[in-house]
Amino acid sequence: MAQLAAVVGVGQTKYKTKRKDVSIAGMVREAAVNALEDAGLTWNDIDAVIIGKAPDMFEGVIMPELYLTDALGCNGKPMLRVHTAGSVGGSTAIVAATYVQSGVFKRILTVSFEKQSESNAMWALSNPQPFSPHLNAGAGGYFAPIIREYMRRSNAPYDAGIKVAVKDRLHGAKNPLAHLQLPEITMKEVEDSPMLWEPLRFLEACPSSDGACAMVIANEELAAKSPRKPAWIRGAAMRSEPTMYAGREQVNPRAGIDCAKDVYAQAGIHNPRKDLDCAEIYVPFSWYEPMWLENLGFADEGKGWELTMSGATSLTEGGDIPWNPSGGVLCSNPIGASGMIRFAEAAQQVRGEAGDHQVDGAKTALGHAYGGGAQFYSMWVVSSEKA
């Protein structure tokens, strides 16, 4: 039987366009030290390190984990690297949690990162590959036609995405670590920003960020001794599907639906809108909020945009199910770390450690990440209570 595991420490860097003051090694160590300090631990207390990042071409450093052992206090200890495209931060956290739940390790440090300023993700995602479709100038070019199809099916108003872009930036203004700080942003400002990929405007897209996120995950015995409140991992799941196959549903992908059903069953979630207090969801382009509201069971198919427009997902409007109170990927996007940030921020909410973007009374939260051509999914539910 799987053992209980909990997040006992969280550490993040400040997210910025360029972290010129540190190398990749210095950046990941900064997040790791912050996590250890939050947990009241030292390097000697860690049994293993699980590290994750997005494609190596993003920085042009191949297998960077090999030279990061020193920075992460991992010399002589087991280290494992995880890679599932943009969902990697989430899947890395799940792999770390699984090692603890299995009893293989008692306490793990897990870290994910990206230093986009040292390369060009647009180029890295656009180089032609044999037997693969061209990604049409980065991720936005790939996802824009899927968004247009969602708009056609649902008859969503053109400004639903604008609403999300404003909401998440207002949330991010409450988070001092967020890259984009836009406390005065308006619907008109977003609508007037340049069109990048129809229907996505400049301010409906995520930034390119440098940054790292780390967590310490411990078993039940050690979590009980933690100086701070733990976030108990009540369920975790991963799913994937091919980028291309006949009849693939890209607007509402099957893998996302199945992953959500799995994690909800583990955590005893029957109605996510009522049973969860908040959610940190991977929304790199604004329109993916209404789309994921449907994919994750918060709204009926074709009705996600209505939930968005009602203010239900807004912390600043007093919505009943705040999404991305930290500002989400629309405010900070160090790609390899973006999924782990969602998981870590969900943990911070149930620990009561989210600061100015804390959701009052949050006890149960969902962390979510997706990657590739919306083909890789990782999710966990964390709670302030063991069961």
Domains with residue ranges and CATH for the chain? 5-121+208-224 (3.40.47.10)
**Backbone φ/ψ region at 377: left (φ over 0), alpha (ψ -120 to 50), beta:** beta
pLDDT digits (tens, 9 = 90+) for 120-160: 777 776 666 666 655 556 788 889 999 999 999 999 999 99
Question: What integer pLDDT is reported at residue 2 of this predicted model?
Answer: 80
pLDDT band at 87 (very low <50, low <70, confident <90, very high): very high
In whole angstroms, give the CA distance from residue 267 to residue 50.
Answer: 24
Mean pLDDT, to the nearest integer, of 321-325? 98
179: its two tokens: 């890259």
Report which secondary-structure segment, H or E, holds 212. Answer: strand 210-219
User: Does pTM surpass 0.85?
Assistant: yes
Instruction: Spell out the residues 6+ positions from residue 38 whose beta carbon is closer than 8 angstroms to its own.
Output: 9, 10, 11, 216, 228
DSSP helix/strand/coil, 192? helix
DSSP state of 204: G
pLDDT at 212 over 60: yes
pLDDT band at 119 (very low <50, low <70, confident <90, very high): confident
- In the chain, the percentage of residues whose pLDDT exceeds 90 is 90
The answer to whether the CB of 45 falls within 8 A of the CB of 219 is no
Mean pLDDT, to the nearest integer, of 12-27? 97
**Nearest Cα to 150, choosing from 329, 313, 290, 247?**
290
Q: Look at 78 and 56; give whichever has higher pLDDT.
A: 78
**Nearest Cα to 121, choosing from 169, 85, 67?**
85
Least confidently predicted of 33-47, 60-74, 217-231: 60-74
Question: What integer pLDDT is reported at residue 135 of this predicted model?
Answer: 55
Mean pLDDT, to the nearest integer, of 67-72? 95
Instruction: Spell out the residues 6+ positions from residue 152 whose beta carbon is closer than 8 angstroms to its own.
Output: none
Tell me the C-alpha to C-alpha distance, in Å, between residue 68 and each of 49, 80, 94, 297.
Answer: 10, 11, 21, 39
Instruction: Spell out the residues 6+ positions from residue 213 whose beta carbon is closer than 8 angstroms to its own.
Output: 10, 11, 12, 13, 31, 89, 111, 112, 113, 334, 337, 340, 341, 344
